[in-house]
Amino acid sequence: MAHATRPRTFDPSDSGVLEGWLARQIGANRARITNAELLSGGAIGENWRLDVDVAGGRRSGRQTWVLRTDAATRMAMSHDRADEYACMRAAYEAGVAVPEPIAVSTERELIGAPFMIVGMLQGSAQGRKLVRDPALAAFGEALAGRLGEELAKLHSVQPPRRDLGFLHVPDQSPARAAVRQLRADLDKCSEPRPALEYALAWLDRRSPPAAGLVLVHGDFRTGNYLVEAGMLTGILDWEFAHWGDRHEDLGWLCARCWRFGSDQLEAGGVGTREALYRGYERQSRITVERAAMPYWEVLAAARWAVVALLQGERHLTGGERSLELLLTGMMAPEMEWDALAGIEAIEAIETTGMKGSSR
Amino acid sequence: MTEAVMQPAALLSIAIETLRSEVLAALPPDRRYAGAMIANALEVAQRGLEAPTAERVRQLLDPIYGAGRGSIAWLARDVRSGEVDDASTGELRDLLIADLRRELMIRNPRFLASRSA
């Protein structure tokens, strides 16, 4: 649970304005919120389960949706709710398992912050619990394959897209553009990090050439998808979506920091990377460049280190006092360690043709 | 009360011990995560007292800039610009990894153990 004691943005006891707005958005005569429950998770914003009685229109009847707000402060690299909503809609239309986009508001006046309303999906997103599920041996490989298929569907969304016109189109190699952005984000942080600078300099020197741009989720990892009885039900948290290289999402999921301790299952701690790659190739008919993946996993570690530092910065200078955010910032050396160990392993293989790093 | 008992490290030590043994288990479920975070933060602070940052960073900076010279901000800047790299400082990556090891001994020794396993 995040920020158990912080003030809430949405006040369910004062939802009349929201109900009127919602009815207009979905073409209903009336929408009445019968129950609102704050859900766990959401280090960036708040998530509320809403039970809504809808009268009239194509959504008439009892509905269960999720209201997702902007947080008081936001990381520079994350989208606001309207842009996140547009990315989710593009993914939904491409057939990706994603909560159905229902409505979005950029106005602060309605409930105190911009928000979106999306479909409610069954399942749990608790990564640590998932990788320790005793039944994982039975469903993990299939789940990894399904994750690959979903990524392939997402990556079928490619520029130019008028509905995603707010997304920056990199004018150079996506990896090099990522490094440039990470350096700019790092410059917003109070704490200089030489090890991270070392990793970014290495990534910049070794960046692969520009490949075809695709819509990248940007935070596709265990903990950001829902699983119910061993089956994937939906992919969450689209606030970091951007145009990038298809290997970036694959590398992020396989990065060691997102295996929750189940290091032998390299695809997010749930399955083998081959199962993930095969699922991707089955759906996309595009071959995953296996030799390129260690580079993208170093980039993933460096990126998570920067994200952690930015989270810590929200406490340090962003006016959002939170022990959880501060402790997240203090995790940066862990990802720096993985990044440097990854670099060492890549160079050892290049030098000797052997897996050489013991770190 | 002796001065030894009033040392910050000693105070933190008994505070953590009391928190872990008498408080955490008694917290309601929706406060246990916050309690665990507090215990973690106190333990990091305790380890930090035993290994002052200033001493740690000199072990990184002295081989690169000379005794007592340079700063972490300088090093970050020089690594980005390429002024300091593996060519100019042959052992740069080893120095950075050694520094991370010392930093992680304070911030999260369990992580370090997991990567050494």
pLDDT digits (tens, 9 = 90+) for A40-79: 665 557 889 999 999 999 999 999 999 998 765 556 667 7
The pLDDT of residue A78: 74
Q: How far apart are CA A195 and CA A339, in angstroms?
A: 9
The reported pLDDT for the residue numbered A42 is 55
Question: Could you tell me if A187 lies within 8 Å of chain B, comparing CB atoms?
Answer: no
DSSP A290-327: GGGHHHHHHHHHHHHHHHHHHHHHHHHTSS---HHHHH
CA pair distance A43, A312, nearest whole angstrom: 12
User: Per-residue pLDDT tens for B40-51?
Assistant: 999 999 999 988
pLDDT digits (tens, 9 = 90+) for A139-177: 999 999 999 999 999 999 999 999 999 999 998 899 999
pLDDT at A133 exceeding the cut of 70: yes
Q: What is the pLDDT of residue A355?
A: 57
Terminal CA-to-CA distance of chain B, rounded, Å?
A: 43
Which of chain B's residues have a Cβ under 8 Å away from the Cβ of A343? 93
Q: Which chain B residue shows the shortest CA-CA distance from A358?
A: B116
Q: In which element (H, E) is residue A262 found?
A: none
| Alpha-helical segments (H) within B19-71 | 29-50, 53-65
Task: Tell me if A91 sits within 8 A of A215, measured CB to CB.
Answer: yes
Does the CB of B2 have a partner CB in chain A at under 8 Å? no
Total residues found in chain A within this entry: 359
Q: Does A320 touch chain B (CB under 8 A)?
A: no
Determine the Cα–Cα distance for residues B53 and A21; give it in Å rounded to an integer: 54
Q: pLDDT-based confidence at A359, cuts 50/70/90?
A: low
pLDDT score recorded for residue A1 = 38
- pLDDT above 60 for A202: yes
- Residue A111 pLDDT > 80, yes or no? yes
Residue in B96, B83, B76, B97 with CA at minimum distance from that of residue A187:
B76
- Asked if A115 contacts A11 with a C-beta cutoff of 8 angstroms, the reply is no
Mean pLDDT on A195-222:
95
Is residue A4 pLDDT above 50, yes or no?
no
pLDDT at residue A326 greater than cutoff 60: yes
Q: Is A205 an 8 Å CB contact of chain B? A: no
Q: What pLDDT score does A12 carry?
A: 85
pTM above 0.95? no
The C-alpha of A271 sits at a distance from chain B's nearest C-alpha, in angstroms, of 20
Kindly determine whether residue A331 and residue B108, on different chains, have CB atoms separated by under 8 Å: yes
The residue in chain B having the minimum alpha-carbon distance to the alpha carbon of residue A327 is: B41
Per run of 10 residues, the mean pLDDT along chain B (length 117 residues) is: 72 94 93 94 93 88 95 97 90 95 96 88
Chains A, B: CB pairs < 8 Å: 81
Quote the CA–CA distance of A101 and B33 in Å, as a whole number.
32
State yes or no: pLDDT of A2 exceeds 70: no
Q: Are A339 and A196 spatial neighbours (Cβ–Cβ below 8 Å)?
A: yes
At A210 the pLDDT is 84
Question: Using CA atoms, how far apart are residues A50 and A99, in angstroms rounded to an integer?
Answer: 14
Residue predicted with more confidence, B2 or A279: A279
**Which residues of chain B have a CB within 8 Å of the CB of A321?**
none
Q: At residue A5, does pLDDT exceed 50?
A: no
Candidates A197, A257, A315: best to mutate against B (most CBs of B within 10 A) is A197
Mean pLDDT over the full length of chain A: 92
**Which of these, B19, B26, B7, lies nearest to B43 by C-alpha position?**
B19
Q: State the DSSP code for B19.
A: I
State the DSSP code for A234: E
Q: What is the mean pLDDT of residues A250-274?
A: 95
Out of B33, B76, B93, the one facing A193 most closely (by C-beta) is B76
Which pLDDT does position A194 carry in this prediction? 98
Please tell me the predicted confidence (pLDDT) of residue A162: 96
pLDDT at A354: 62
